[in-house]
Structure 1
Amino acid sequence: MSFGLAVLAMDESADATAARARYERCTTGDHVEGDLDERVVAFYEELRARFPDHPPYAEPSPWASTPLSVGIDHVIMNLSSGAAGDAALRAVLELAAVHRLLIWDPQSGDAHPPGALA
């Protein structure tokens, strides 16, 4: 079993409606052109240093699918259930708070502003 999670570079005042719209835009391939958001770059680099999404993979890998979906303003992940997924989830929450990224839970439809879940 796995579950999806996204970190989005959005203003701290963004609500669930705005987060859902951004997530849907990202997952349908309707990516915005522009410069990379430095917060997303730093988040992704630090996350993949701990939990690679390209070979060689950590064993066991926390990712249900790889590579992670990365754009200029988002990182979308499918985490595996179990100890490896739990460790990656803790890292995602920590790094999202550090880099001031919104967390979007597509299963529940909840948006969590930076630091709300850390």
Structure 2
Amino acid sequence: MSFDLDVLAISPTASDDAVRAMVRRCRDGQHPEGDLDERIVGFYESLRARYPDFPPYPDDSPWMSMPLEVGIDHISVSMSHGQRSDAALALIIALATSHGLTIHDPQNGQVTRPRS
């Protein structure tokens, strides 16, 4: 069993509806063209330094699907439920906050904006 999260480079003042609309567009493959958002780049590089999404995979990998889905303005992850994902989830939250990114939880529709 797995759970998913979307990490988005969207304005922290964007409404929950705007966040969900962005997630729908991404999941439908309607990705904008352009340069990578530097916040996403920094987030992804830091995340995969600890939890690679390309071989060789560490034994404690939390990912249920690899490589991670990466767009110019988002990253979507699918993690296993359980103890091996706890540290990865804490890292995702910390990195998203430090890079000014918004987290969307599609299981319950919750939107978590970066803290000031």
Answer whether TM exceeds 0.5 for this pair.
yes
- Percent of pairs with identical residues: 53
Q: Is structure 2 residue 107 aligned with structure 1 residue 107? A: yes
- 1:25-78 CA-to-partner distances (Å, cap 9, x unmatched) read 111111100111000000000000000011011112100111100000000000
Contact kept in structure 2, 1:15 and 1:111, CA below 8 Å: no
Gaps of 5+ in 2: none
2:88 — aligned with what?
88
Structure 2 SS opposite 1:14: coil
1:70-89 matched pairs, under 5 angstroms = 70-89=70-89
Gaps of 5+ in 1: none
Q: How many residues align?
A: 116
Consecutive aligned runs of 4 or more in structure 1 exceeding 2 Å deviation:
none
- The amino acid that maps onto 1:35 is D
User: Structure 1 length as normaliser, TM-score?
Assistant: 0.95
- The amino acid that maps onto 1:54 is F
Worse-superposed segment, 60-69 or 36-45: 60-69
User: Structure 2 length as normaliser, TM-score?
Assistant: 0.96
> What RMSD over aligned residues (CA atoms) do the two structures have, in Å?
1.1
